[in-house]
């Protein structure tokens, strides 16, 4: 089954404790992105990647890191989480060579930083 | 840079009522336009998309949207809503031409009352 898989689905952590949210897609998509969803603000892009070893900042990259060492994986790293990073996070992938490529989203990771 | 406005934040309708959700975008060039739906507790899924040609686009579950270039609008419509359409709806825009940065609107929560 074609899908984007995020782990964990739920995470509660303390301020300053490094964490990684994993994202993996099995559709051989070139493009991958991370978004955070907050009430009243919609989805805001954190980072995106056009291909392996190619990443770029989105609208709200502060406090986050990403890496794209393999095509299928795009982990999101919070080196020192803070309470304002409490949010619902979505990973998405999109294909290349398609007109108006749609985004395929993972199930989301609800992160709480206390 | 592009931007998207969804002016209706929360819409309440009775079953069988007609639906129209507004979406306006700002960008100086040609665009791809999308509507995504997020059912409670789930990830975003594509409803429909426009990239060229017929400005009236039909999507899944009886939804359609009309691209009016002169108004920079891409409103979502459904003639008769069902309780199962209760969800949050997001409009998104991206410049045309390969993969480009996607910008989402803030979303419209639709509540359908049986």
Q: Which of B9, B99, B107 sits opposite A94 (nearest CB)?
A: B99
Token duo for residue A12: 């509660």
pLDDT computed for residue B99 by the predictor: 61
- For A:16-75, CB contacts with B below 8 A are 30-31, 33, 35, 40-45, 48, 50, 58
Token duo for residue B44: 């975003």
Q: Which residues of A touch B6 (CB under 8 A)?
A: 42
Q: Please say whether the beta carbons of A11 and A19 come within 8 A.
A: yes
pLDDT at B98 over 60: no
Q: Please say whether the beta carbons of B71 and B24 come within 8 A.
A: yes
Q: Which of A43, A101, A102 sits opposite B104 (nearest CB)?
A: A43
Using 50, 70 and 90 to split pLDDT, how confident is the model at B100?
low
What is the tens place of the pLDDT at every residue in A34-82? 999 998 898 999 999 989 999 999 989 999 999 999 999 999 999 999 9
What is the tens place of the pLDDT at every residue in B18-61? 999 999 999 888 889 999 999 998 889 999 999 889 999 999 99
pLDDT computed for residue B28 by the predictor: 84
Q: How far apart are the first and last CA of chain B?
A: 41
Q: Which residues pair with B93 in a beta bridge?
A: B33, B103
């Amino acid at each position: 089954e074609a899908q984007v898989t995020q782990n964990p689905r739920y995470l509660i952590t303390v301020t300053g404790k490094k964490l990684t949210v994993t994202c993996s897609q099995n559709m051989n998509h070139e493009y991958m992105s991370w978004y955070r969803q907050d009430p009243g603000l919609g989805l805001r892009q954190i980072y995106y990647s056009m291909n392996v070893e190619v990443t770029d900042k989105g609208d709200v990259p502060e406090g986050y890191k990403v890496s794209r060492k393999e095509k299928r994986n795009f982990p999101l790293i919070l080196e020192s989480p803070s309470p304002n990073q409490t949010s619902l996070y979505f990973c998405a992938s999109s294909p290349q060579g398609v007109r108006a490529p749609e985004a395929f989203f993972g199930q989301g990771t609800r992160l709480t930083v206390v | 840079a592009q931007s998207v406005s969804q002016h209706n934040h929360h819409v309440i309708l009775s079953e069988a009522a007609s639906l129209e959700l507004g979406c306006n975008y700002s960008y100086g060039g040609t665009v791809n336009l999308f509507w995504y739906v997020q059912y409670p507790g789930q990830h975003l899924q594509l409803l429909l998309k426009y990239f060229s040609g017929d400005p009236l686009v039909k999507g899944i579950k009886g939804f359609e949207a009309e691209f009016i270039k002169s108004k920079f609008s891409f409103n979502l419509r459904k003639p008769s809503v069902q309780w199962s359409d209760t969800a949050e709806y997001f409009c998104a825009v991206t410049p045309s031409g390969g993969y480009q940065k996607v910008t989402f609107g803030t979303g419209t929560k639709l509540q359908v009352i049986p």
